[in-house]
Chain A
Amino acid sequence: MNRRRAALVAAVVAVLLAFPAFAGTYQTQLLTYGLTLAIAALGFNLLLGYTGLLSFGHSAFLGTGAYTVALMMRYLGVSSLELFILGGVICSAALAALLGVVCVRHTRIFFAILTLALSQVLWTLAYKFFWITGGTDGLRVPFSQLTLLGGLVSFPGADAFAKFITYYYYYVLVVFCVCTALMWLIVHSPFGKTLQAIRDNETRARFLGVRIWRYRWLAFVVSGIFTGLAGILWVPLNGLVTPDVLYWPQSGKIVFFAVLGGFRTFAGPIVGAVIFNYLEVYAVALTQYWQLALGVILIVLVTFLPAGIVGTAARLGAKLK
């Protein structure tokens, strides 16, 4: 990492740390949403940006994380976020390992359709088995029943919501930073470099003796875990999980994050997820036709700015030098 980039990262982290001090509860809540989605985007982009596999089924992992939390709370009476993370990560890893065996045997369009079809199996299960999952009513995950840091922090009392948002923001921020650092290490490790080699030229990678299937599978599992973790952190913030989180347009949104920010860059999907979150919130507030606005933005982006925000900014920056 060169010096300028280190300075940039330090500045961003400083702003994020100070954010709740100068922004209100609502803005902090919005940014917390953005950061959880950014973790999902990081995981997603290990597949699209670094392995060259476009998944249209990542809602499966987001939903598995979220539903694991809701089911643990409802049926096991768990309230500790650390236990939720443990359970949710195990479940999303198991699901990713299973789906990965099926999905990574294909690439390109077939991979996209296969991930889409399998994620929709989960959606219909959540939707139809309503006596377990609550069906379209969903399951509630109220923050008042949540404890952080092994039961040290809970949120009783009148001003509990503001307190919850502040604490939860820092919690998510720490997890986000750890995830980002971890993903940075992964994509710069020999493992990550091998994934990129497979992406760029599968035949040559095969001739070098790389076991392509195994690498893709492992990338799929890691990607699923990151996105599952995002689902775990997202659900207490949302307070409710419904089958919508598993429905395939949700997967489309995750793809949108990566393309908006630029999936050829490391930071692109993070920036994309945070900006998308603001776009969606303000578009929904401004107009009931927010999908129209998002659709137009997506079409304009892929037509004129295929490198995304970060990719284009980097290119402009390089030109100025």
Chain B
Amino acid sequence: MDIVALQILNSLFYAAVLFLIAAGLSLIFGVMGIVNMAHGMFYALGAYVTAWSVGVAGSALPPAALFIFLPLGAIAVALVGLVIEPTLIRPFYRRPEEYQLLVTFGLLLVLEDVIRLIWGGTPITASGLVDSLGLVRIGGLPYPVYNMLMIGVGVIAAAGIWAFVYRTKFGVLLRATAQDRRMAAALGIDIGRIYILAFGLGCFMAGLAGAIVVPTQAAVLGMGVEVLVISFVVVVIGGLGSLEGALVGALIVSALRTITIQFWEEIELAALYLIAAVVLLIRPTGLFGRKA
């Protein structure tokens, strides 16, 4: 039984990470109509910035103080997003989707090499954060406190985003813009400001996901490319542009992943992609999607 409890916790940890990435992807699509192929790179960037700053400051600061670098990594990524949206993405809102996909694919190639340029090809770890919190016993089995803490962070982030989108004035403007851009503009909403903030928020979430993940595994090249397709699966299952969908999709995908890894490891990813294809066939808009 203990192993089941452990696997559920693992699955929830993974779901928290996936939700943060997929919700950002979905937010950017919902508001701007852009499928951001470079989104995985923001996740990787968050992981690298956090791991690097933990490594640099590791000897000078007590381990507990290092947790400040998790949000700092996310904020750094958000700042990058705030620069990229107006310079690179903005000219493409009125262009056909092919070009939007291509410009973000170009951005993906660039960011991958920028990471290589700054941090080189060797993986960077920040496992000190996990070690500093120690282990807790679930039944008879040890489990890192860090992972449990981060599941909590995931829950808080989900609640925070929900409150932000559905309970604040900015959230109303955001949803209005997503629903009808021209009408929102006619009513005097500053669309440019909404877009840049939505993009920044999406990048912040991806960066936070990377920051959360990096103490449990290393920051490696290719992590951004790998995660992108899985977060596509999440938003396809949940529905592109829907936050609830991102949450449910993340829970489904991580549960499936945990189960397949346990029983038949080889088909893990294939099963995920096939399920995304089946959902697209039966319900093209996903479980929670609106009609495009």
Contacts and interface: CB of A to CB of B under 8 A. Distances in A.
A291 B113 contact: yes
B270 A118 contact: no
B93 interface: no
Given A124-B269, A249-B225, A255 B105 contact: yes
Interface in A86-114: 102, 105-106, 108-110, 112-114
Contacts of A295: 106-113
B284 interface: yes
B97 A302 contact: no
A128 B264 CA distance: 11
A187 B43 CA distance: 42
A54 B281 CA distance: 18
Contact of A102 (B99, B109, B112, B277): B277
Of B99, B108, B225, B277, most A-chain CB atoms within 10 Å: B277
Interface string B91-119: 11001011101110111111111101100
Interface in A277-321: 288-292, 294-299, 302-303, 306
Given A124-B270, A249-B225, A292-B117, A299 B280 contact: no
A47 to B, nearest CB: 11
B273 interface: yes
Query: Interface extent on B, as a size class?
Result: 35 or more
Interface stretch (B4-12, B122-130, B228-236): B228-236
Contacts of A256: 102, 105
B99 to A, nearest CB: 5
B266 A298 contact: no
A299 B113 contact: no
A110 B232 contact: no
A109 B273 CA distance: 16
Nearest to A131: B266
Nearest to B278: A102
Contacts of A248: 225, 229
Given A125-B270, A303-B91, A108 B97 contact: yes
Contacts of A259: 98, 102
Interface of A: 48, 54, 56, 102, 105-106, 108-110, 112-114, 116-118, 120-121, 124-125, 128-129, 248-249, 252, 255-256, 259, 288-292, 294-299, 302-303, 306
Given A114-B280, A289-B116, A296-B106, 12 more contacts: A56-B101, A102-B277, A105-B284, A116-B232, A117-B232, A121-B273, A124-B269, A128-B265, A255-B102, A291-B109, A299-B103, A306-B99
5 contacts: A109-B101, A124-B273, A292-B113, A292-B117, A302-B102
